[in-house]
A and B are shown apart, each in its own frame.
Chain A
Amino acid sequence: MTATAPGGAARFVGARVNRVEDARLLTGAGTFVDDVSLPGMLYAAFVRSPFARAAIRGIDTAAAGALPGVRCVFTATDLNPGVREQWHTAAGPASPETPRPPLAEEEARFAGDPVALVIAESRYVAEDAAELVEVDYEPLAAVVDYTEAERADALVHESHGSNVVGEIAGLPASALDDVLASAEHVVSETIHQQAYAPVPMEGRGLVVDYSAATGELTIYAATQVPHEVRLFCSRLLGLPEQRIRVVMRDTGGGFGQKVMVQRDEMCLMLAAPKVGAPVKWVEDRRENLLAAGKSRQEHAAVTMAFDDDGAIQGAHIDFVQDCGAYPTPWPVTTAAAVGMLFPGPYRVPRAGFTVKDIYTNTVGRTAYRGPWQFETLAREVLLDISARRMGIDPVELRRRNLLHRDELPYANPNGMIYDNVSPLETFEQALEMLDYSAFRSEQADARAAGRYVGVGVSNYVEPSTPGYGYYGTEAATIRVEPSGAVNVYIAGGSTGNSIETTVVQLAADALGVKIDDVSTIQGDTAVTSFGAGAAGSRSGSMTAGAVRETAAVLRDRMLAIAAHKLEADVEDIELLDSRAHVRGAPSTGVSFAELAAVAYFQPGSLPPGIPAGLEASARYTA
């Protein structure tokens, strides 16, 4: 998409420009959360359960508390009663979430479960003291294999009454009985995917600074969503939102793991007001791997039916996913997407699905890069197996079944609508770029020479930039400053996504300003409008909409001021290279600095109806 406002030429969007982030990141001048250091700052370390499941019979913090340099040792009794409300905006207050005690109460539910929190004058001392906390664990039978969890005697969450987090179904497999009975070929398989750990190079971390005198809380965070950290914290502590400021400058990767506040981060938010000094927690790699979340431990029984030409007659998936002990957020809606998307960009006349999420005594499920990606894996592996069984080339099988543009919009039977895409045309283009037939003959030659080389194809269409609810809007504020320089304020959340550079490119095009005249400020809730951050491949496209909406307001205003000053028609004015001129006469005209001078310093010279200043805020709705 182009974000260029009407009349603005796309000069920088799509062009190769130096990233604005790079100067600081290449020289060690970035600011990641662990680089933040505040006067009097203390350091946090967690005591974590070594058992997958254990009753906590008692915690003795005396030795830890007595260690010189230790300020506080908190257990669940100290922190958990401070929770006022605990829900993520994307999920909403009514979502049937897993109860999430910040620190484990009577029971530790996975190896890595936070049990106590030590605050000390250095991280070294905090870690020393964490080792001195004596926890009286009584190990219990643990549910570690999600495929056995439904039959297990032990319950991960006793109060939930079962190890099934939840399930959703479309049509059951039996609804396809007639299709399967009459189809020429029916292929069934069970497909497994192993657990992934998101592993950003920088782990999670927070610096929380509470001022008792003012009731203000400042959080520096490694996050994909600074505004959600603020809103979540506001509800958690019962602090008014405007008293909380969240700042993120550089975040070293997120991949979904930093998209929602988890229990460890809640502990820091709850502890900071009790400590009387700023507190830093930066997890180490061990904690990141143990406790920050996992994804994609899942499998499904899948079936497809074909006629004798290889045309798909029906498809069904029974999907089961391991969600660990504390999935964040409630995972069942994401699992449902696996079912809805399973038919994929293919012509599938009949389909059905069931999805089931399972609790185990393992680390909780979090979002990770395309959280419903299993739909692609399962379908495409099944198509390859089917092609082999039917003796059809896997490319040919897909070619016969892929949707082409003329058939759209197409609603698959599981409830997903495909439109404004070109699956078959894109596939053919990719095959041409690869020169698939040439590769096949090279492969045959190689095979004859005893060398095995392979080729595989996979098609998928998944939704990005969700246009609903919390994710459905994004704002920008743009200031053409009195000097004519431009600042663009965006909610932010970049974890390496180059959103600063993108915004500068977009604004330069939309306003007709030199790219070096544009800066952007992101990630500070004190000066930016609410936004839902970097998630669901949304930040580039949503931000583009926000910049376009906002720039259009300022563009109209600058055109009006320039027309007035140049005694020309508004329609004849062009904005280019930080100047406004009459079309066809670029040497005449006025600079943005001159326009800004009128707007800010000569309000009496403004054309009728044009407000003073060159500042605007607007919100794009997807």
Chain B
Amino acid sequence: MADVPVHVTVNGRSRAETVEPRVTLADFLRDRCRLTGTHLGCEHGVCGACTVLVDGAAVRSCLMFAVQADGADVTTIEGVASPDGDLSAVQAAFRDCHGLQCGFCTPGFVMSATAFLRDHPSPTDEEIRDALAGTLCRCTGYQGILRAVRQAADAARGGEQS
């Protein structure tokens, strides 16, 4: 099958590429864009490590072809901190709450939590658990991760406690 042009905006930068139709968005981001923060843990939509934002929605980039992202605005983990390196509230909360160990799953958690908190600024603990249920950590760090998302939510609401 012939290669197909793809035009996407990734972390605010426009990219025009030509790809095989079967190339996943994850591989496109990692190999073509050299944005290797998006990690592949299972390549079949189970672990959530490859989560990115496509037009704002948290999406598993291993389950989407790059050509399906044509015309879309994509944000990866590399686009979350400010350009001068300041961590986002979610990233800082993960650091504060020991929400990561090996760090392989972390980009997926940060992206999922970022989209979730944008849509649910005052979540209950139960909603946080639900929102992160599709993302796996193997260093057994879920308690720290849940505390991190709680802290990020509370911080965004000016420290007001739920």
Contact = CB atoms under 8 A, between A and B. Distances in A.
A540 to B, nearest CB: 13
A32 B42 contact: no
B104 A202 contact: yes
A201 B105 contact: yes
Choose among B23, B31, B139 the residue with the greatest number of A CB atoms under 10 Å from its CB.
B139
Given A18-B95, A26-B94, A124-B20, A253 B44 contact: no
Contact of B49 (A29, A123, A201): A201
Contact of B78 (A18, A22, A27, A498): A27
B117 to A, nearest CB: 16
A250 interface: yes
A26 B95 CA distance: 8
B102 A22 contact: no
Interface in B103-118: 103-107, 110
Contact of A25 (B35, B40, B43, B100): B100
B91 A495 contact: no
A28 B102 contact: no
A617 interface: no
Given A496-B102, A496-B103, A202 B78 contact: no
B95 A252 contact: no
Contact of A27 (B23, B31, B80): B80
Choose among A124, A199, A253 the residue with the greatest number of B CB atoms under 10 Å from its CB.
A253
B151 to A, nearest CB: 14
Contacts of A29: 37, 78
Nearest to B76: A28
A26 B136 contact: no
Interface in A9-47: 18-19, 21-32, 34-35, 37
Given A37-B34, A201-B49, A202-B41, 7 more contacts: A18-B96, A23-B95, A27-B81, A31-B36, A200-B102, A201-B104, A497-B101
B39 A26 contact: no
A251 interface: yes
Interface residues of B, number: 44
B4 to A, nearest CB: 15
Interface in B32-83: 34-44, 47, 49, 76-78, 80-81
Contacts of A199: 138
A192 interface: no
A498 B141 CA distance: 13
B81 A202 contact: no
B138 A253 contact: yes
Interface in A470-484: none
Choose among A24, A28, A37, A284 the residue with the greatest number of B CB atoms under 10 Å from its CB.
A28
A35 B81 CA distance: 20
A34 B20 contact: no
13 contacts: A27-B80, A28-B37, A28-B107, A30-B37, A200-B102, A201-B41, A201-B49, A252-B104, A253-B102, A253-B138, A285-B41, A285-B43, A496-B103
B37 A251 contact: no
Contacts of B34: 37
Nearest to B91: A26
Contact of A22 (B36, B94, B104): B94
Interface of B: 20, 22-23, 27, 30-31, 34-44, 47, 49, 76-78, 80-81, 85, 87, 91, 94-96, 98, 100-107, 110, 136-139
Nearest to B109: A26
A605 B126 CA distance: 66
Interface of B is mostly: loop
A31 B104 CA distance: 10
A29 B85 CA distance: 11
A278 to B, nearest CB: 15
Contacts of B42: 285
B95 A22 contact: yes
Contacts of B85: 23, 27
Interface string A559-591: 000000000000000000000000000000000
Nearest to B90: A26
A565 to B, nearest CB: 38
Interface in A51-105: none
A75 B136 CA distance: 36
A194 B104 CA distance: 27
Interface string A346-373: 0000000000000000000000000000
B49 A26 contact: no
Given A27-B78, A28-B76, A28-B78, A250 B102 contact: yes
B101 A201 contact: no
A18 B99 CA distance: 12
B102 A27 contact: no
A209 to B, nearest CB: 18
Nearest to B42: A285
Given A18-B95, A19-B95, A34-B36, A284 B104 contact: no
A140 to B, nearest CB: 31
Interface in A276-312: 284-285
A250 B104 CA distance: 9
A495 B105 CA distance: 13
Choose among A22, A31, A250 the residue with the greatest number of B CB atoms under 10 Å from its CB.
A22
Contact of A34 (B40, B44, B87, B100): B40
